[in-house]
Chains A and B, each alone.
Chain A
Amino acid sequence: MFFATIINLDLLAFGPTGYGDELFWGLLLTVQISVLAYALGIFLGLCGAMGKLAGGKWLKNALDGYTTLFRAIPDLVLILLLYYAGTDGLNRMLVSTGLGPVEVNGLVAAIFVIGFVYGAYSTEVMRAAIMAVPVGQIEAAKAYGMSPFLRFRRVTLPAMLPYAIPGMANLWLNVTKASALISVVGFTELALATKQAAGVSKLYLMFYVFALLIYLSITLISNQVFGWLERRVRRGQAKLA
Chain B
Amino acid sequence: MVWSWLPQYFPLLLHGLYITLLLLVISVVLGFLLAIPVGLVQVTGPWPLKYLARGYCTFIRGTPLLMQLWLLYYGIGSLFPLIGAAFPTFKQDFIWLIRLDAFYYALFAFTLNFAGYEGEIMRGAFLGVPKGELEAARAFGMSPWKVLSRVWFPRAVRQVLPTLGGETIGQLLATPLAFTIPVMDLMGVTSKIRQDTFLIYEPLLFLAFVYVVLTFLITRAFNYFEGLVPSRR
Contacts and interface: CB of A to CB of B under 8 A. Distances in A.
Interface of A: 2, 5-6, 69, 72-78, 80-81, 84-85, 88, 173, 176-178, 180-181, 183-184, 191, 194-195, 198, 202, 204-205, 207-209, 211-212, 215-216, 218-220
Chain A facing B: main interface SS: helix
Contacts of A211: 67
B175 interface: yes
B163 interface: no
Contacts, number: 111
Given A76-B187, A84-B200, A191-B64, 11 more contacts: A72-B169, A81-B201, A81-B205, A85-B201, A177-B63, A178-B64, A181-B177, A191-B67, A208-B70, A208-B71, A215-B67
B175 A74 contact: yes
A198 B65 CA distance: 18
A205 B76 contact: yes
Contact of A204 (B59, B75, B205): B75
5 contacts: A6-B79, A73-B208, A204-B75, A205-B78, A218-B62
A74 B174 contact: yes
Given A208-B70, A209-B71, A76 B177 contact: yes
A183 B173 CA distance: 18
Contacts of B201: 81, 84-85
A184 B188 CA distance: 13
B159 interface: no
B221 to A, nearest CB: 15
Contacts of A84: 200-201, 204
Chain B facing A: main interface SS: helix
A193 to B, nearest CB: 12
B158 to A, nearest CB: 21
Contact of A208 (B75, B82, B169, B208): B75
Interface of B: 58-59, 61-68, 70-71, 74-79, 82-83, 86, 169, 172-177, 180, 187, 200-201, 204-205, 207-208, 211-212, 215-216
B62 A216 contact: yes
B76 A77 contact: no
A183 B172 CA distance: 20
Contact of A177 (B64, B71, B169): B64
Listed from nearest, the 8 A-B pairs whose CB atoms lie closest are A219-B62, A180-B64, A72-B215, A205-B75, A208-B71, A177-B64, A208-B75, A74-B173
A74 B216 CA distance: 13
A220 B61 CA distance: 11
Most buried by A among B66, B83, B174, B212: B66
Contacts of A195: 70, 74
Contact of A184 (B61, B82, B180): B180
